[in-house]
Amino acid sequence: MFIPVENPIFARNSTQIMARFHTLQVKDIQRETADCVSIAMDIPTTLASEFQYKQGQYLTFKVKVNGEELRRSYSLCSSPLTDNELRVAVKKVAGGRVSTWMNDVLKEGDALEVMMPMGNFYSDMNAANAKHYQLFAGGSGITPMFSIIKTVLKSEPNSRITLYYANRDEASTIFKSQLDALQSSNSNRLSIHYIYDNAPTGHAALYCGMMDVSKVTALIENHGDLTGNCEYFICGPGPMMENVKNVLSQLKIDSKKVHIEYFTAVEEAVKKAEAASSDGKVISKVTIIMDGQELNIDLSSDGPTILDVAIENDLDAPFACKGAVCCTCRAKVLEGQMSMDANYALSEEEIEQGYVLTCQAHPATERVVVSYDEP
Ligand SMILES: Cc1cc2nc3c(=O)[nH]c(=O)nc-3n(C[C@H](O)[C@H](O)[C@H](O)COP(=O)(O)OP(=O)(O)OC[C@H]3O[C@@H](n4cnc5c(N)ncnc54)[C@H](O)[C@@H]3O)c2cc1C
Ligand code: FES
């Protein structure tokens, strides 16, 4: 049941920007590799403030493919400081509905439904910083890294960057020529190491093969930096990400310095959610607030997620991946407690502040108030 919220504390803040889809026109499409296109969106001046973004953030698209409505997130490869456009890069996944459609069907001038930029895959820039950013990218995982690289080079003159970038071969390496050009013009601050499964003849053995634990360890031994003011960013295929994460953890790198962007739901999390037990089950009186209205409902801690309940009850709750990786479904717990099946998107600070991923969230106390309206 819907009733208006009377408490002004819950009213929508006029400075707050809601996670809503906007219709944008495709301004430009570039073919980057045989199976990857980059797509720039035309942002009308009326939406310019809503589409401001940080390096490493992503856009969420709502598209219809063969009559099916699908939502997918794509990271911005443009930099808010060096590019005067918002551009994402989409790599075709075998059998992938949206990535294939964007590569093969979408054309310049088409309209797309796009949500404001989101995500935590960045650290704050400061011209006084003298950091060493160490980036581990695989395949389309280069997309947010390209944005980060351009932004760091522009805004932190005393910081340097080492990029480890794994691909099948040189031809499938997205942004290779742009990265090489950046390296040439910033040779004292940007080092790029390309690692290929199918390396060309003469490519040194250190840079050939899969990014398994021994390869990642060897790369860090040769080029890494474990002391000083370092930050680490990881984005790529699941196994590569786990290997880099594990090596950094074995090397006792503070997890606060390690930033991870997952593109797909982590298998382990899916299994954990499926196996969630009903021990300590709670039936909770839940209030879900959205757009200044509230939905009151009784919900079991082992029942559907807050997001599923919101959608079933016709709330236009934001979501994309439904797999704990994109953060689009974020809301804030204002009263009571919630548990999450998995979280690969919220930072520790956000969790401390009471934010949850509603696609993973269940009530854990007898009374819970959760709001999508909090900035
Ligand atoms: C925060 C975030 C940022 C992202 N940024 C980018 C980006 O910059 N560029 C980009 O190309 N993609 C990015 N993705 C992934 C993207 O959102 C889609 O998941 C991907 O394009 C596949 O969608 P699809 O509809 O084509 O495939 P689907 O039709 O959903 O899936 C088809 C098959 O492919 C498998 N699959 C799904 N995704 C992947 C994947 N990434 N790799 C391998 N197999 C997969 C599925 O398990 C399934 O078997 C991002 C995802 C998130 C959550
Ligand atoms: S919809 Fe992506 S984390 Fe919930």
How does pLDDT run along the chain (375 residues), one tens digit per residue? 333 333 222 222 333 456 689 999 999 999 999 999 999 999 999 999 999 999 999 999 999 999 999 999 999 999 999 999 999 999 999 999 999 999 999 999 999 999 999 999 999 999 999 999 999 999 999 999 999 999 999 999 999 999 999 999 999 999 999 999 999 999 999 999 999 998 888 889 999 999 999 999 999 999 988 888 999 999 999 999 999 999 999 999 999 999 999 998 776 555 555 555 456 789 999 999 999 999 999 999 999 999 999 999 999 999 999 999 999 999 999 999 999 999 988 988 899 999 999 999 999 999 999 999 987
Q: Which atom of ligand 2 is nearest to the CA of 360?
A: 4
Q: What's the DSSP call for residue 74?
A: E
Residue 100 CA, closest ligand 1 atom number: 26
Task: Determine the distance separating the centroid of ligand 1 and the alpha carbon of 126, expressed in angstroms.
Answer: 32
The structure's pTM equals 0.89
- Please tell me the residue having the least CA distance from ligand 1 atom 50: 263
Largest separation between any pair of C-alpha atoms in the chain: 70
Instruction: Tell me the CA–centroid distance for residue 167 and ligand 1, in Å.
Output: 17
Instruction: Identify which of 174, 263, 327, 344 to mutate to test ligand 1's pocket (most ligand atoms within 8 A of the CB).
Output: 263
Residue 274's φ and ψ, nearest 5 degrees, are: -65, -35
- Residues paired with 233 in a beta bridge: 135, 259
CA distance 195 to 197: 7
Q: What is the whole-number distance in angstroms between the Cα of residue 74 and the centre of ligand 1?
A: 8
Terminus-to-terminus CA distance in the chain, angstroms?
24
Name the closest-CA residue to atom 45, ligand 1. 93
Q: Whose CA is nearest to atom 20 of ligand 1?
A: 99
pLDDT attached to residue 227: 84
Q: Are strands 230-235 and 258-260 parallel, antiparallel or unpaired?
A: parallel
- Burial class for 215, CB neighbours closer than 10 Å (0-12, 13-18, 19+): buried
58 lines ligand 1 (CB under 6 A): yes
What residues line ligand 2, using a CB cutoff of 6 Å? 319-322, 324-329, 345, 357, 359
Q: Report the atom number in ligand 1 closest to the C-alpha of 119.
A: 1
**From the CB of 76, is ligand 1 less than 6 Å away?**
no
Q: What pLDDT sits at residue 271? A: 54
**Ligand 1 atom with least separation from CA of 95:** 32
State in Å: Cα 117 to ligand 2 middle.
Answer: 14
Structural domains for the chain: 21-118 (2.40.30.10), 132-260 (3.40.50.80), 277-371 (3.10.20.30)
Closest atom of ligand 1 to CA, residue 144? 8
Other C-beta atoms closer than 10 Å to the C-beta of 126 total: 11
Find the ligand nearest to 72 CA. Answer: 1
Task: Report whether residue 326 contacts ligand 1, using a CB cutoff of 6 Å.
Answer: yes
CB-based contact 275:247 (threshold 8 Å): no
Pocket test for ligand 2, best of 321, 347, 351, 355 (most atoms within 8 A of CB): 321
Residues 127/131/134/135 CA torsion (nearest 10 deg): -20
Question: Looking at ligand 1, which residue's alpha carbon is closest to its atom 13?
Answer: 74
User: Which of 49, 51, 42 minimizes the C-alpha distance to 21?
Assistant: 51
**How many residues are listed for the chain in this entry?**
375
Position 51 scores a pLDDT of 96
Burial class (CB in 10 A: 0-12, 13-18, 19+), 231: buried
Give nearest CA residue, ligand 1 atom 48. Answer: 96
Report the separation in Å between the CA atom of 294 and the middle of ligand 1, taken as the mean of its atom positions.
Answer: 33
167 neighbors 195 (Cβ within 8 angstroms): yes
Nearest-ligand number for the alpha carbon of 357: 2
Q: Could you tell me the distance, in angstroms and rounded to a whole number, from the CA of residue 293 to the centre of ligand 1? A: 33
Residue pair 87/78 in contact by the 8 Å Cβ criterion: yes
Residue 325 CA to ligand 2 centre (angstroms): 6
